[in-house]
Copies of this chain bind each other. A is one copy, B any other.
Amino acid sequence: MKDGPNIAMLGALIGDPARANMLTALMSGKALTASELAAEAGITLQTASAHLGKLQTGGLLHQRKQGRHRYFSLADEDVASVLESMMGFAEKKGHSRIRTGPKEPALRKARVCYNHLAGELGVQMFDSLTARDFLIEQDAALTLTDSGRQFFTDFGIDFEPLKKSRRPLCKSCLDWSARRSHLAGSIGSALLASFYKRGWAARIEGARIVAFTKKGEAAFTQSFPV
């Protein structure tokens, strides 16, 4: 009776306009940072933080710390289906406002996340590496296998300077546009640097877009096949 939300508490959580906007934004399946959600809801970061705390306490959201970001996503499929149900009803009766879709296509495809590759290609690379057991992901931990070490060495990554850094060697990072993981950590940085060096891609200054050349993308896909 005090543990979890009853129907009134649940309704009240969803009933605030700011929270409803946040939840609607998260319905895309993407995980978003507190700042992004604040912008979506049109409120300041402090207010958003309070709202996110309440949603989390209510069991609607799941939070994942990621460096200095906090990615929020819907807690589970149940939450999504409840919202789905309510949105469907609201749409049927009146007209609910249409949400703006995903923004910049190029940004979704490939971009820098800190200093490693993110976006669809980043996810593709991550999946390709885990599928071949070069990386093993369990829970939030990511471990590099011997065969993986060999693969990266063959790819031209020098592990020596990486060992000195206090940054973890490899680390999964939740993707902004795809809700999937991609490879962060010093290996992730080294790989992106390698792509630049090989001329596969170039960074668009000012934006976070990573522009792959046609040949570069082909070579990339050959090295990291789906």
Contacts and interface: CB of A to CB of B under 8 A. Distances in A.
Interface of A: 1-17, 19-21, 23-24, 58-59, 78-79, 81-83, 85-87, 89-90, 92-97
Contact of A5 (B3, B16, B79, B94): B94
What 10 A-B pairs come out closest when comparing CB atoms? A4-B94, A11-B14, A12-B15, A11-B15, A8-B20, A15-B15, A4-B93, A85-B85, A3-B94, A6-B96
B15 A83 contact: no
Contact of A97 (B1, B10, B11): B1
Contacts of A5: 90, 93-94
Given A59-B93, A78-B92, A93-B59, A86 B4 contact: no
Copies of this chain, whole number: 2
Contacts of A93: 4-5, 58-59
Given A12-B16, A15-B15, A6 B82 contact: no
Nearest to A18: B8
Contacts of A7: 14, 20, 23-24, 83, 86-87, 90, 96
A3 B78 contact: no
A contacts with B: majority SS: helix
A98 to B, nearest CB: 10
A95 B6 CA distance: 7
B15 A13 contact: yes
6 contacts: A3-B95, A10-B89, A11-B14, A59-B94, A78-B89, A85-B86
A4 B2 CA distance: 32
A139 to B, nearest CB: 22
Given A5-B90, A89-B78, A12 B11 contact: yes
Contacts of A85: 81-82, 85-86
